[in-house]
Structure 1
Amino acid sequence: MQNNEIKIGFVTVSDRASRGEYEDLGGPAMQEWIGKALANPWTAVATVIEDEQALIESTLKDMVDNQGCSLILTTGGTGPAKRDVTPEATETVCDKILDGFAEQMRAVSLQYVPTAILSRQIAGTRGSCLIINLPGKPSAIAECLEAVFPAVPYCIDLIEGAYLQTNDEFVKGFRPKHAKKPSA
């Protein structure tokens, strides 16, 4: 049964931002982008946490299993540094990994910076939720979301999450012609 309440999780993974030493720019950038992208009302479930794998895992699990998020976007912790463990945590909590999201995000990012090949961001599903790891820089967040978001609403349909309607003037979600909007 499709979930009609739309909750979207936003997780900033940053040691410095979690301690207040650095302003979280990624979390607000993700929320602003989603605010422009979605036509239907939604509720944000947002947090800033340290680069600790167990904490990332428990946060993602809580957002899906207890708070009912249909989409979770993370920012930070996707590079090659020793403390970057967001992809490992995401993979651990996911039922399925969707490689196409990461492939597309890296391909788009490579148009802007050669260091995009260092990004290890992934995406996957847990229950009725899609989890996408994004880069930390606000401009890169926007570039990656623009590249993959057309597939997000239909992906969430397929896993029986909330029905996301896009603001087609900002980003157009793709659904096959046979896909039907759930009855109210």
Structure 2
Amino acid sequence: MTKAKIGIVTVSDRASAGIYEDLSGKAIIAVLNEYLTSEWEAVYEVIPDEQDVIEATLIKMADEKNCSLIVTTGGTGPAKRDVTPEATEAVCDRMMPGFGELMRAESLKFVPTAILSRQTAGLRADSLIVNLPGKPKSIRECLDAVFPAIPYCIDLMDGPFFECDESVIKPFRPKSK
């Protein structure tokens, strides 16, 4: 069985310029290491808030690196340079709006400003792309909410089988008939 490839993309002008350390991308990797018991490989990049760069990175991870799952962090707010959702929509074949809806609903339990977040998700060929907020604390909250659906989504796309530590996160897969 081949290792699943998961793209981790931090979208941040300052982190990509080395002004500060990328804690958000590392938080995604840490959470996925807790969730997954199956072998996987991180394809990790830190890039600036530039729509053409985000689009090119997502395309490369999906089409060339064969990442079945691509998780972004950052660029989902209302600031003028926050363009991750636009880049995601531009490269996806179909959108999966339920991911963003659930992440915002979950985040509203913690902060009233969650309604300002524009994260989304979509499908490009054999890849599921999920946008997360940029704050490390929010990453865990949002992944805990949406990850139970991700392994089954990847199954439906004929991707690799994600096995999880069910004491940490329980993926939902329908019972076979």
Q: Normalising to structure 2: TM-score of the pair? A: 0.98
Asked if the contact 1:79–1:119 (Cα under 8 Å) also holds between the matched residues in 2, the reply is: yes
Distance 2:125 2:174 in 1: 22
Asked if the contact 1:153–1:164 (Cα under 8 Å) also holds between the matched residues in 2, the reply is: yes
Q: Quote the RMSD (CA, aligned, Å).
A: 1.1
Q: Normalising to structure 1: TM-score of the pair? A: 0.94
Q: How does 1:143-158 map to 2 (within 5 A)?
A: 143-158=141-156
What's the secondary structure of 1:39's corresponding residue? coil
| Deviation for aligned residue 1:64 | 0.7
Query: How many residues get paired?
Result: 177
Matched AA of 2:91: V
Partner in structure 2 of residue 171 of structure 1: 169
What's the secondary structure of 2:42's corresponding residue? strand
Distance 1:72 1:98 in 2: 14
Matched AA of 1:61: I
Partner in structure 1 of residue 17 of structure 2: 19
Q: Does 1:91 align with 2:81?
A: no
| Residue from 52, 62, 65 that aligns with 1:64 | 62
Can you list the C-alpha shifts for 1:113-160, whole angstroms capped at 9, x where unaligned? 000000000001111111100011111000000000000000011111
| Deviation for aligned residue 1:77 | 0.2
| Deviation for aligned residue 1:5 | 3.2
Q: How does 1:30-179 map to 2 (within 5 A)?
A: 30-178=28-176
What's the secondary structure of 2:59's corresponding residue? helix
Distance 2:124 2:163 in 1: 21
4+ aligned runs moved over 4 Å, structure 1:
none
Distance 1:128 1:167 in 2: 24
Matched AA of 1:134: L
Asked if the contact 1:18–1:48 (Cα under 8 Å) also holds between the matched residues in 2, the reply is: yes
What's the secondary structure of 1:7's corresponding residue? strand
| Deviation for aligned residue 1:4 | 4.4
Distance 1:65 1:47 in 2: 16
Asked if the contact 1:106–1:117 (Cα under 8 Å) also holds between the matched residues in 2, the reply is: yes
- Which structure 2 segments of 5+ residues have no match? none
Identity between Structure 1 and Structure 2 (%): 60
